[in-house]
Structure 1
Amino acid sequence: MRPSMASTRASSSSSFDLLRPRLLSPSPISLYVLLLLAFSTAVFFFSHRQIGQVSHQPFFSEAPPKLLDEHLWDSSHGYGLHQCIKPTHRYEAPRDWNRYLTVRSNGGLNQMRTGICDMVAVARIMNATLVIPELDKRSFWQDSSAFSDIFDEKHFIKALQGDVRIVRQLPKELESLPRARKHFTSWASMRYYEEVSHLWKEHKVIHVPKSDSRLANNDLPIDIQRLRCRALYHALQFSAPIQDLGKKLVERLKSHGRYIALHLRYEKDMLSFTGCTYGLNDTEAEMLTALRESTKHWKLKKINSTEQRMGGSCPLTPKEVGIFLQALGYPPSTYIYIAAGEIFGGESYLSDLRSRFSNLVFKESLATAEELKKFSSHASQAAAIDYIISVESDVFVPSYTGNMARAVEGHRRYLGHRKTINPDRKGLVELFDKIEKGELKEDSTLSSLVIRMHKSRQGAPRKRYGSLPGMKGRNRLRTEESFYENPFPECICHNQKH
């Protein structure tokens, strides 16, 4: 038995010895599998760590669509600010004065709107009864609309009854009496109106031929400033037909998602007034120059169009607006409502903007012919519809800083600082010229430059700008930011509501 057992042990030992080298030296396939397993494990832990890091980082161009949408569309949500327009405890009820202010409001829709609100405040300061203003029928737009055609007259009178007495017309016994015709000083102070009140000693009626910019932007009592806000944002509502159509068109736009309201000031009157002829042919440029020189109240005669454009004093062209919005990141499918009158040159100048953003919408394409019929020959009523759609838009972009742009921006600030992008026209022109010369391409580099340039130009809260440096005398008042463009801080407050 021993030899047999010995033989078996030898056999077992021999088998073990044969197996030993295979365990200690794995085959190439086994080694590959082990390496692959180790690599996969390392990648898993590395990826898991990276995901944890990325989830806490701010988004950039690679961000998910939802974050990108927030970047493009979302406004400030108020920044913790609130409307504050109630009178202070020192504010007294108006007296029933037997003295009257009659007013002729001049200019386009928004020039008249802010002018009317100035005259409400002036009537309060001068302890006068305000007669419903007569609207301008001789401006460039030749609109025959009366006050009640554009505004809710009954609401206007009632909403301000605790501030100023307002009547529809002069009492009959005063109609034949001589009136003091007075051109009030532009951007006048409280003290100025207290001084001119001596006119009441000899007259019961003072007639004001112009209503625009009759009050200073700054250094007025807070109760007067808040009265201006109550007048503009609450009392001076548009008439029911305008309100109804405006709301309908906003709903139709919203049914497609979020939209931009573009105040495209590429219209004949604006190009003529500013002397901006860049991109136009000789015949068009000569026509606009002739129009400016034949219009009495457009005092600027000799204008260097190139200097105007380089200084940022020209409206952006439709093509430039397209490049601008594309560089900011808005997709080609974005709905853009054109808040404007007839665009100069029509489709020939709109085609480039349309090639970038195919969903361009006008009143005429959004409303039916029947809905627009009663407004078609009244420019101010049509402009009121544009105003409503612009105020309610997700993003408002003006191509030029005019009365409409300032009024809409101020209203959007008052409603919670809704997103309003003000193009840096001077900075953009430099970029556009580089593109034209082939020194810059419409790519990510341009996009980065444009986004950085407009980071602080999107309607965030700030106090009104003062006058430009070096300005003296009354000229400095002209360069101050309009109260109606930014009613902060008098009508917009921190913390609690007023």
Structure 2
Amino acid sequence: MAKTKSILPINPHLYPQFLLLFSPKTHHRNPQSSFAPSTCILLSLTLLLASILCFAAINLFLNTPSLSTINLFHTATYSPLFLASLSSVYEDPSADDNDSPVSLSVTSMVPLPPRSVAGAASEFWQQPDGEGFRPCLGFTLKYRRRSVEIAHEKKRFLVVVVSGGLFQIRNQIVDAVVIARILEAALVLPVLKGDESEFAEIFDVEHFRKTLKADIRVVSSLPSTHLVSWQSLENQIPYNVPPFWIRARFFKKLNEEGSLVLTGLDSKLSKNLSPDLQKLKCKVAFHALKFAKPVRELGNRIARRMWIEGPYVAIHLSLEKDLWVRTGCPTGLDPEYDIIINQERESRPEFLATSSNTNCPLNALEAARLLKESGASANARVYIAGGEPFGGDRAILPLKTEFINVVTKDMLARDVELNPYRNRSTILTAIDYIVSLSSDVFLPSYNGHMAQALQGHRAYVGHRKYVTMSMNFKGQPQSRGKRRDRDVIVFPVPECMCKQ
């Protein structure tokens, strides 16, 4: 856990001696020149008061913002997640400590604590009751016994090639770890296909390896004795496959050849797994996958610049051109913009079978109305996350019209902070994710990958308020239950969170 800054230490036994340095001295040759007792008392009290004021000023300077502004959770005793969140106010949560053991009581990304607000707008900022649910990743004895051998595997190696945006990459890596566990194989660091970044540029490799060392072995590359033909890569997994299918299909081949390459893992593995494998998914998503240090540092700096001014709401506006083309929904802009979308949609056969105007994203005006209906005041501070909107600034103008304090990462970043990542969409998305995770309220305009990732992550770090388009979910624990289509990293109750 991060350590808070300490006030200058003062030994209480030295304080009387400190006062003696300034106390009146008796002159034996001229007793009449000594101070009167009342003068001594007044001088001592003055020095004491000055010392208290000095130390209070130092404390205020070192520890701004004040703890009195932090909205504590409703529990009487605070969880390790909350205490880590509290300490992140004073010390950068991205600080590395490679020598310390990985603790599952704290997530890989620690959000800043929520803020309290008085007055008419207080209800909007109020955090939901987590009903006592906290992370619980206790694996069974059978799982832990098998881990002794699997975590030291040196003959079988699994290589996975992942693709897509940040959250598609994340989901595929989570499934890759589970598949490596099912096949009792060591996992080679995933290869990113079609992305401008490498795994190590997005995620912390050492933290990933160290967090999972009790579950699987993670290696940087294949040994020279296990070469594979990269020309033969193909998608070999249908949708919604259970663990026994994975083992029956690949274990014999892996055992004979020593290595296996899999691609196209996106949403292929069944969501309905054993409790141990569900917990492993949460362990990967919320603990092992930690953003690389430069990404964390920049994301945390921007989040602090939002947080220091008071509570804020993050809105993920999904207004990119490809989403409008894929859904066929009206953009909310002038007719000429809709004509452009329809023409491109008609030129791409893969979208012709897709029903238009279904599951449409909110445009900026609709998002502003939802935010106001949820109780946000016109001066609420709003952070906009998301890629370049179709229509540019015109697309987000309705939101800026309704709310006067609207900012983006480009407005908060200083000088050249974002310049190294201008063409790195995955890392820019990661920065938006860090700032959104620390927001007091999160509102997505579309139920896409980022919305689902934040729904599960905000629940896992203490059920931070989350407003959906239907307005029937405010961040309270949502159980996966027996829904076979619900992913545990979106709905971590009850496999990964329980009442303690």
TM-score by length of 1: 0.72
Cα RMSD of the aligned pairs, angstroms, is 2.1
C-alpha separation between the residues in 2 aligned to 1:328 and 1:236? 33
Correspondence for 1:209 among 242, 258, 263: 263
1:107 and 2:164 correspond: yes
Letter in 1 for 2:416: E
1:239 and 2:255 correspond: no
Letter in 2 for 1:411: H
Cα distance 1:344–1:332, how it changes in 2: closer, same or farther (>3 A)? Answer: same
Unmatched tracts of structure 2, length 5 or more: 1-116
- Which has the higher Rg, Structure 1 or Structure 2? 1
Residue of structure 1 equivalent to 2:458? 412
Unmatched tracts of structure 1, length 5 or more: 1-64, 138-142, 425-453, 468-476
Deviation track 1:140-171 (CA, whole Å, cap 9, x = no partner) reads xxx41010110011111111111011111111
CA contact (8 A) 2:481 2:494 kept: no
Deviation track 1:42-91 (CA, whole Å, cap 9, x = no partner) reads xxxxxxxxxxxxxxxxxxxxxxx836444211222532111011322222
Residue of structure 2 equivalent to 1:337? 383
SS at match of 1:337: strand
Residue of structure 2 equivalent to 1:482? 487
1:184 and 2:237 correspond: yes
SS at match of 1:352: helix
| Pairs within 5 Å for 1:67-82 | 68-82=120-134
Letter in 1 for 2:352: K
CA contact (8 A) 1:182 1:207 kept: no
SS at match of 1:79: coil
C-alpha separation between the residues in 2 aligned to 1:163 and 1:151? 19
Residue of structure 2 equivalent to 1:175? 227
CA contact (8 A) 1:181 1:206 kept: no
CA contact (8 A) 1:77 1:418 kept: no
C-alpha separation between the residues in 2 aligned to 1:491 and 1:411? 11
Residue of structure 1 equivalent to 2:189? 132
| Pairs within 5 Å for 1:402-481 | 402-424=448-470, 454=471, 456-464=472-480, 480-481=485-486
Alpha-carbon shift at residue 293 of structure 1 (Å): 5.1
Letter in 2 for 1:231: V
Residue of structure 1 equivalent to 2:447? 401
C-alpha separation between the residues in 1 aligned to 2:118 and 2:332? 38
Residue of structure 1 equivalent to 2:89? none
Residue of structure 1 equivalent to 2:336? 283
Kindly, what percent of the aligned residue pairs are identical? 35
Cα distance 1:76–1:329, how it changes in 2: closer, same or farther (>3 A)? Answer: closer
C-alpha separation between the residues in 1 aligned to 2:344 and 2:337? 11
Letter in 1 for 2:319: Y
Residue of structure 1 equivalent to 2:403? 357
C-alpha separation between the residues in 2 aligned to 1:290 and 1:203? 49
| Pairs within 5 Å for 1:295-374 | 299-301=350-352, 305=356, 308=357, 311=358, 313-374=359-420
Cα distance 1:240–1:109, how it changes in 2: closer, same or farther (>3 A)? Answer: same
Deviation track 1:275-300 (CA, whole Å, cap 9, x = no partner) reads 1124344432233234445567xx33
C-alpha separation between the residues in 1 aligned to 2:246 and 2:449? 25
Aligned length: 377
SS at match of 1:173: coil
Deviation track 1:182-221 (CA, whole Å, cap 9, x = no partner) reads 5222222122122122322542221111121232112x11
SS at match of 2:159: strand
Alpha-carbon shift at residue 109 of structure 1 (Å): 0.3
Residue of structure 2 equivalent to 1:261? 314
C-alpha separation between the residues in 2 aligned to 1:109 and 1:90? 34
SS at match of 2:488: coil
CA contact (8 A) 1:119 1:214 kept: no
Deviation track 1:314-349 (CA, whole Å, cap 9, x = no partner) reads 001101111111122211111111110111112222
CA contact (8 A) 2:121 2:375 kept: no
SS at match of 1:174: coil
Letter in 1 for 2:435: I
C-alpha separation between the residues in 1 aligned to 2:308 and 2:255? 59
CA contact (8 A) 2:312 2:383 kept: yes
CA contact (8 A) 2:317 2:385 kept: yes
Alpha-carbon shift at residue 367 of structure 1 (Å): 0.4
SS at match of 1:103: strand
Alpha-carbon shift at residue 385 of structure 1 (Å): 0.4
Cα distance 1:97–1:185, how it changes in 2: closer, same or farther (>3 A)? Answer: farther
SS at match of 1:321: helix
CA contact (8 A) 1:100 1:129 kept: yes
C-alpha separation between the residues in 1 aligned to 2:228 and 2:305? 51
Residue of structure 1 equivalent to 2:437? 391
C-alpha separation between the residues in 2 aligned to 1:229 and 1:403? 16
SS at match of 2:443: strand
1:90 and 2:142 correspond: yes
